[in-house]
Amino acid sequence: MLSPPKGFPANLVRGTTGDDQADEGPADATHGTAASDRNRIAIAVGQLDETLHLGMHIVLVQVIVAVMVLILFWGRAPTAYLLSLFTVVLSLALVSIAGMRFQRRARASLAQVMTKQRVISGLVLTLGLAWGTFPVVLYGHADADERNYIIALCVGLLTTPYALGPIRHVASRFIVPVAAGCFVALASRGDDPSEVLALLLALFVWSILSNTRRIGRFSTLRIADRVQLAEQSETISLLLNDFTENASEWLWETDRDGRLQNVSQRLVQISGIPAARLLGASLESLFRDERAFGAEGGKANAVLSEGAVEVVALVAERKAFRERVVEVCVAGAVQWWRLSGKPLHDGSGRFLGFRGVGVDITAARESEAQIAHLANYDFLTGLANRALFQDLASMECERAERTGVPCALLYLDLDGFKIVNDTFGHALGDALLTRVADRLSGLVQPNGLVARLGGDEFAILLPCIDGDDALALARAAIERLSVPYVIDGVQVEIGVSVGIALAPNDANTPEALLGRADLALYRAKAAGRGEVSEFTPDLETSVLKRRDLEVDLKRAIAQGELSLHYQPLVGLERGEVRCFEALLRWSRDPGGPVSPADFIPVAEASGLIGSIGRWVLHQACREAALWPESIRIAVNISPIQFRNADLVLDVFQALEASGLAPDRLELEITESVFLEMNATTISNFRELRALGVRIALDDFGTGYSSLSYLIRFPVDKIKIDRSFIKDMGTRHECLAIIEAILTLAAKLSITVTAEGVETVEQAIMLRARGCDDIQGFLFSPGRPDHAVKGLVATLPSRFAEVFRDDQETDVAA
């Protein structure tokens, strides 16, 4: 028995082919169900119908071929044989035609269908046997032309079974006798061409048998799918009936007079109107409040929504419509329905009424309203977001320009928020932003707008207010927001800086107004925490200069205008050069030298510091690799660079490319690195230490960091800031701080370098107090790379002269 294809239900195939008839009976009684029996009968009938439908064409072909044989071989072959073959083929054709007509009119059981399939198999076998004699009788005594006719006719007959349909083995019962007759005929010849033809015929017959088997299987699957589709259609019909009662959507129907009919229970539930009142009522009844339904005068006088009026009009005009939204009132509550409908006509075109579908979209409309709210308001604080701020600011700028009455924009940025967020976590940071929003909202009058533009940036838009009032509000905001916050038992303190711009005096578009306020905010933050600044025209000038500087700096990087100078760090014990600090220089073309104090902040703000810092690392390491091995190279690292996850890779690549030993590279960082310590910063610090690179803490004592960082993140060197060195001879406070730093460093085994040493007296005082190295103009400013060797050679003698003069002065005294 042929196994069902993968994925095809075996119970639908079982009992549907001729060879499976013996399996009927107990197996069917045990495993069959009413549904499976119906499916089996339907599949078997489908197989029979398809075979008989295709069989009509086969019968006609067989009769035509028999006539052709009679004509071609009349007088060349035994007449009795030719007439007998023609008679057999014609008789089988007539019997087949009669059976086809009978089958189309009859309804049969499964057993009867199986019997008919057996009869078809028998007829096909008989026909195959009859045609199998054709090559045996005629081929051996035929001439060359006649053999060609016989071969052509036999090949054509062998292809006939492709049309025999899905009944199993029917095709093989025709092919096998015909093929056998052909092999016998070819064997009777026994010559070489016959052997070749026999081989080709065997391949051809094998291909036909394989393909007919596959075609029969696919045909059976197709019939089974058709049966299942019919079952599904019946199921869908049942589900559709259930849909009208229970689904979220509902069907509605009117007669030609526009009266509701076939009212479903779901329609009753959704409308809140009893079925008895809806049946035969006008379509408008769906769109009025159920509490007024039937009340004298109340229902008729109720006002329909615009969407309801439109739907009623379309139905009255007999026009189809799709997805029209209607606002209705059900039991006093507003609902939204989406309706579609089309007119119905009979075969003669006579109007029968309307039929359509409706769905309650109230929940969706409420969700849309919620989404619309979220599109204009900040989810966290409930304040207006940037989009709503932009719209209202556009209206206010237009009004201010038209009327001349100013509008003020306060741009606020929280001071210290990032530290709170990183220290206590984002949850507390979000709660803090909510508290800030509440305090700001309490400060602003109802006609003002408070918006959160993103992160810890806020804006206040104040219509009809002058600069003095805006300045007063800004100061009140600074005072109010600076009051400590207690959140989940944690007390936190932040500040705020404010920039102010006025329309139409400073700008007449939201973008320009916000840009002016941002410039003012930039100046306020530069002045320190908790400051307020108003926009002035000179701010824009400075920004343009800064922008030009940024453009030129990008060009300078591309064209190689940057260079490095090196300033020596001289040991106070013997005067030897222990290290050179790499100092970045830029000669602007045109324009001449630009101070690092001017272009480094621009590089940091514009994001260029990464590429510049990478170039400095590679250049400094490459040049230092040519120096004596006892001399190190110190490279300044920006806090922005140190927070970059690629810093360690950049350092490694610079060392590898130059061949410089890691312990000869000294990276100088400032205390601000520790001020904004995060996971990346900590990882970079530890990986650089593991790499063997030395870490120096520059400008020590001038930042906000705690001394505890020296324990958590030990460094190799501390550099005392030049501001302490400058006044150490005149202010005892500076000298006390220097002595404290030197004592602390000695206890922690940290090397100390004093920056900005310019006088012999400073050097002597530092040497007397145990400072390790000094750096400054006393011995040398920064010099180009070609001067390094000369400095290494001459500075020890210069050091000896300085301190010999000092010793001689002491002796003379």
pLDDT of 701 above 80: no
Beta strand 532-534 with 449-454 is: unpaired
370 by DSSP, 3-state: which? Answer: helix
Looking at residue 102, its pLDDT comes to 67
Nearest-CA neighbor of 172 among 361, 327, 24, 19?
19
Looking at residue 233, its pLDDT comes to 66
Would the CA dihedral through 647, 648, 649, 652 be positive or negative? positive
Nearest-CA neighbor of 73 among 59, 62, 84?
84
Of 34-38, 522-526, 651-655, the least confident? 34-38
Tokens at 764, concatenated: 């002597």
Of 22-36, 84-98, 146-160, 560-574, the least confident? 22-36
| CA dist 658 → 440, 614, 642, 651, 692 (Å) | 56, 13, 21, 11, 16
CB contact at 8 A, 585 and 563:
yes
pLDDT of 756 above 80: yes
CB contact at 8 A, 477 and 440:
yes
Tokens at 21, concatenated: 């008839």
User: What SS3 string covers 518-555?
Assistant: HHHHHHHHHHCCCCEEECCHHHHHHHHHHHHHHHHHHH
Backbone angles phi, psi at 776, to 5 degrees: 165, -175
Nearest-CA neighbor of 431 among 442, 417, 445?
417
| One-letter amino acid of 636 | N
The structure tokens 């109720």 sit at 302
Nearest-CA neighbor of 311 among 361, 243, 357, 263?
357
Beta strand 532-534 with 495-503 is: parallel
Q: What is the pLDDT of residues 392-411, one digit of tens each?
A: 999 999 999 999 899 999 99
Distance separating alpha carbons of residues 412 and 191, to the nearest angstrom? 106
Cross-strand bridge partners of residue 131: none
The structure tokens 């000179």 sit at 538
Looking at residue 777, its pLDDT comes to 93
Residue 23 DSSP class: G
Distance separating alpha carbons of residues 361 and 328, to the nearest angstrom? 11
Region 155-165: what's the mean pLDDT? 71
Out of 5-9, 138-142, 644-648, the most confident range is 644-648
Region 335-363: what's the mean pLDDT? 87
Please indicate whether residue 11 or residue 88 has the higher confidence score (pLDDT).
Answer: 88
Q: What is the helix (H) or strand (E) element at residue 48, kind and residue range?
A: helix 34-72
Cross-strand bridge partners of residue 753: 719, 773
pLDDT band at 26 (very low <50, low <70, confident <90, very high): very low
Would the CA dihedral through 23, 27, 28, 32 be positive or negative? negative
pLDDT of 283 above 70: yes
Looking at residue 499, its pLDDT comes to 94
User: What SS3 string covers 741-785?
Assistant: HHHHHHHHCCEEEEECCCCHHHHHHHHHCCCCEEECCCCCCCECH
Task: Work out the angle between the directed axes of helices 170-189 and 144-159 (0-180°, nearest 10).
Answer: 160
Taking the CA atoms of the chain, what radius of gyration do you get in angstroms? 50
| Average pLDDT of every residue of the chain | 81
pLDDT band at 805 (very low <50, low <70, confident <90, very high): low
Most distant CA pair in the chain: distance in Å?
158
| Domains by residue range for the chain, with CATH | 10-231 (no CATH), 247-367 (3.30.450.20), 379-535 (3.30.70.270), 554-807 (3.20.20.450)
pLDDT band at 269 (very low <50, low <70, confident <90, very high): confident
Of 415-419, 618-622, 769-773, the least confident? 415-419
Nearest-CA neighbor of 607 among 559, 550, 565?
550
571 by DSSP, 3-state: which? Answer: strand
The structure tokens 């089309």 sit at 342
Region 257-266: what's the mean pLDDT? 84
Region 429-457: what's the mean pLDDT? 93
Tokens at 519, concatenated: 């410039």
Secondary-structure breakdown of the chain: helix, strand, coil percentages, each rounded to the nearest 5: 60, 15, 25
559 by DSSP, 3-state: which? Answer: helix
> 450: how many CB neighbours lie within 10 A of its CB?
25
> 519: how many CB neighbours lie within 10 A of its CB?
22
Residues in the chain: 813
Please indicate whether residue 807 or residue 543 has the higher confidence score (pLDDT).
Answer: 543
Nearest-CA neighbor of 755 among 805, 797, 711, 697?
697
Q: What is the pLDDT of residues 77-115, one digit of tens each?
A: 788 888 888 888 888 778 777 766 666 545 556 677 777
Please indicate whether residue 281 or residue 181 has the higher confidence score (pLDDT).
Answer: 281
> 37: how many CB neighbours lie within 10 A of its CB?
15
pLDDT band at 55 (very low <50, low <70, confident <90, very high): low
Out of 76-85, 243-252, 683-692, 707-716, the most confident range is 683-692
Looking at residue 580, its pLDDT comes to 96
Distance separating alpha carbons of residues 362 and 236, to the nearest angstrom? 28
Q: What is the helix (H) or strand (E) element at residue 329, kind and residue range?
A: strand 321-330
pLDDT of 651 above 70: yes
Backbone angles phi, psi at 714, to 5 degrees: -65, 140
Looking at residue 563, its pLDDT comes to 94
Q: What is the pLDDT of residues 530-554, one digit of tens each?
A: 899 999 988 878 777 877 888 899 9
Of 97-101, 167-171, 289-293, 571-575, the least confident? 289-293
pLDDT of 29 above 80: no
CB contact at 8 A, 501 and 409:
yes
Q: Is 382 left (phi over 0), alpha (psi -120 to 50) or beta?
A: left
Distance separating alpha carbons of residues 679 and 709, to the nearest angstrom? 15
- Cis peptide bond N-terminal to 484, omega within 30: no
CB contact at 8 A, 436 and 503:
no
Distance separating alpha carbons of residues 803 and 778, to the nearest angstrom? 12
Tokens at 487, concatenated: 């959140």
pLDDT band at 806 (very low <50, low <70, confident <90, very high): low
Backbone angles phi, psi at 259, to 5 degrees: -95, 140
Would the CA dihedral through 283, 287, 291, 296 be positive or negative? negative
Residue 444 DSSP class: S
pLDDT of 137 above 90: no
Beta strand 717-720 with 751-755 is: parallel
pTM for this structure? Answer: 0.48
Looking at residue 6, its pLDDT comes to 37
Out of 227-236, 256-265, 362-371, the most confident range is 256-265
